């Protein structure tokens, strides 16, 4: 039996679904029941009758799946697949910040731990951050969008709301520089440049459009352009090419590879299903509070 057949057999035995984030290795994307962004995947999985969810992504994503499907067993094939951006805030720092800034509204990016979500007023994704900032807050509110300064600056540049910036960022997106975009534009003059809002403001300023990964997927399908320069983690290029074989995709920068995302391999998926490991455990009180911040967001979108 090859590794894919083993995974198929184990999936049936465990009644499992495999969720694969857009930034995963191509061979891992190929075994997915669902591919997509972290929230979309967790929502899809919560609608299934599966007993087990295998989350091929980073840890906060698997926690999000557990928050939305507490009755299911959620597994991550490598518990060391962390998210440096999510780790740029911890619960002690957040509590201290709230004490020093009474009345501040906490808008947490989905790229955050379950504990941080539980301590926030409302959640957002990169796809809906503009909408949430506009609909859930007023011009009088002081909002801190944690932990991503770049996403917060992007939102602040588009909507009339007051932000305090938390100094977190995604190292993979920070590696993409305006010079990279310039070089790629020279090489591929017909390509449209799509950048993720986790990129710096300088990169967004030299890009044509700003999208979440889900936004990029839908835009590329509809666009008449045949070539695209993609400013996000490079796993996204495989996803886009699979969905649009007649179009060409170029990375904004070859260096934009998240090592944590690439920790998940097919062998680890087999190991995970065989041993029912690593199980993602989120305490019940955290699930309930984190769910409240996610549900607060879902009311608006």
Tell me which residues touch ligand CIZ (CB under 6 A). 21, 37-39, 110-111, 125-126, 196, 212-214
Minimal CB distance residue for ligand CIZ: 37
Q: Between residues 14 and 196, which has the closer beta carbon with respect to ligand CIZ? A: 196
C-beta of 85: minimal distance to ligand CIZ in Å?
8
Nearest Cα neighbor of 211 from 227, 198, 226, 228 is: 198
With b for 16 or more beta-carbon neighbours within 10 A and e for fewer, the 265-282 pattern comes to bbebbbbbbeeeebebeb
C-beta of 110: minimal distance to ligand CIZ in Å?
5
Q: Between residues 213 and 272, which has the closer beta carbon with respect to ligand CIZ? A: 213
Q: Between residues 77 and 197, which has the closer beta carbon with respect to ligand CIZ? A: 197
Q: Between residues 10 and 18, which has the closer beta carbon with respect to ligand CIZ? A: 18
First to last CA, the chain: 44
C-beta of 196: minimal distance to ligand CIZ in Å?
6
C-beta of 60: minimal distance to ligand CIZ in Å?
9
Positive or negative torsion for Cα 134, 140, 146, 149: positive
C-beta of 186: minimal distance to ligand CIZ in Å?
27
Token pair recorded at residue 15: 């009644």
Q: Between residues 10 and 45, which has the closer beta carbon with respect to ligand CIZ? A: 45
Q: Between residues 10 and 22, which has the closer beta carbon with respect to ligand CIZ? A: 22
What 182-186 contacts at long range (C-beta under 8 Å, 24+ apart), as own/partner pairs, is 182/206, 184/229, 184/250, 184/251, 184/252, 185/229
What lies within 8 Å, CB to CB, of 81 at 6+ separation is 57, 58, 59, 260, 261, 263, 264
C-beta of 117: minimal distance to ligand CIZ in Å?
13
CB atoms within 10 A of CB 254: 10
């Amino acid at each position: 039996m090859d590794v894919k057949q083993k995974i198929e057999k184990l999936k049936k035995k465990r009644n499992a679904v495999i969720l694969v984030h857009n930034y995963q290795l191509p061979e891992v994307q190929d075994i997915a029941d669902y591919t997509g962004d972290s929230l979309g995947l967790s929502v899809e999985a919560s609608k299934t009758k599966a007993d087990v969810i295998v989350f091929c992504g980073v840890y906060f994503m698997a926690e999000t799946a557990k928050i939305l499907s507490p009755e299911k067993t959620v597994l991550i094939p490598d518990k060391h697949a962390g998210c440096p951006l999510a780790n740029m805030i911890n619960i002690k720092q957040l509590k201290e910040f709230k004490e020093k800034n009474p009345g501040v509204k906490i808008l947490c990016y989905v790229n955050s731990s379950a504990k941080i979500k539980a301590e926030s007023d409302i959640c957002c994704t990169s796809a809906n951050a503009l909408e949430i900032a506009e609909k859930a807050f007023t011009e009088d509110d002081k909002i801190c969008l944690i932990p991503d300064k770049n996403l917060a600056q992007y939102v602040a540049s588009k909507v009339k709301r007051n932000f305090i910036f938390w100094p977190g960022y995604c190292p993979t997106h920070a590696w993409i520089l305006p010079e990279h975009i310039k070089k790629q534009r020279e090489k591929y003059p017909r390509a449209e440049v799509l950048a993720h809002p986790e990129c710096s403001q300088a990169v967004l300023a030299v890009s044509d459009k700003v999208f979440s990964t889900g936004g990029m997927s839908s835009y590329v399908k509809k666009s008449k352009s045949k070539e695209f320069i993609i400013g996000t983690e490079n796993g996204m290029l495989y996803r886009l090419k699979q969905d649009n074989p007649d179009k060409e995709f170029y990375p904004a920068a070859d260096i934009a590879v998240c090592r944590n995302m690439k920790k998940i391999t097919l062998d680890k998926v087999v190991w995970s299903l065989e041993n029912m490991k690593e199980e993602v455990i989120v305490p019940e009180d955290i699930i309930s509070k984190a769910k409240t911040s996610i549900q607060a967001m879902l009311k608006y979108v």
